[in-house]
Amino acid sequence: MTKKTGRCLCGRTTFTLTDDNPTVAICHCTHCQKQTGSAFSIVTISPRDRFVCAGPLKKFNDIGESGGAVSRWFCAECGSPILTEAAAMAGAAIVKAGCFDDTSWLKPSLQIYCDSRQEWAPLAESTANFAKTPA
Ligand SMILES: [Zn+2]
């Protein structure tokens, strides 16, 4: 399997994802909007044991819109969001996809929490779109 490498903005946090074909999703939830300071997150979803990370990470203990615990890991040096672990998706590594060194392969297949999507944000017909999450 191919290793996909990534790093934070300052470069002190680096990671490797070993997954040929991770699910790529756009999340419009209000927490992702806050954390990224943007309109949505683009993330990859893979088994947690495929993700290896090194660097000065810090964790913010969040509560997701589903009510479950969400761990939001970010670089303690530059603040780049890196990894999310959610009780609602136990065993998954949710990686902030903009941090990959090569982002050319990213092709979102689903969009979630569309009920909090900013109106101008495009909803591609090529993605499966959910008001919240796939049940
Ligand atoms: Zn950093």
Which pLDDT tens digit goes with each residue over 7-54? 999 999 999 999 999 999 999 999 999 999 999 999 999 999 999 999
Q: Is 69 exposed, middle or buried (0-12, 13-18, 19+ CB in 10 A)?
A: middle
Cα 38 to ligand 1 centroid, rounded to whole Å: 18
Give the per-residue pLDDT at 63.
95
CA distance 37 to 30: 10
State how far the Cα of 98 lies from the Cα of 80, in Å rounded to an integer. Answer: 10
Q: Express each pLDDT in 65-109 by its tens digit.
A: 778 999 999 999 999 999 999 998 999 999 999 999 999 999 999
Q: What is the SS3 assignment for 27?
A: strand
CA of 57 to the centre of ligand 1 (A): 8
107 and 63 Cβ atoms separated by less than 8 Å = no
Record the tokens describing residue 58, joined without a space.
């810090």
Can you give the pTM of this predicted structure?
A: 0.94
pLDDT digits (tens, 9 = 90+) for 21-34: 999 999 999 999 99
CA of 52 to the centre of ligand 1 (A): 16
Kindly give, in sequence order, each residue whose CB lies less than 8 Å from that of residue 71, ignoring residues fewer than 6 positions away: 59, 60, 61, 62, 84, 85, 86
pLDDT attached to residue 64: 87
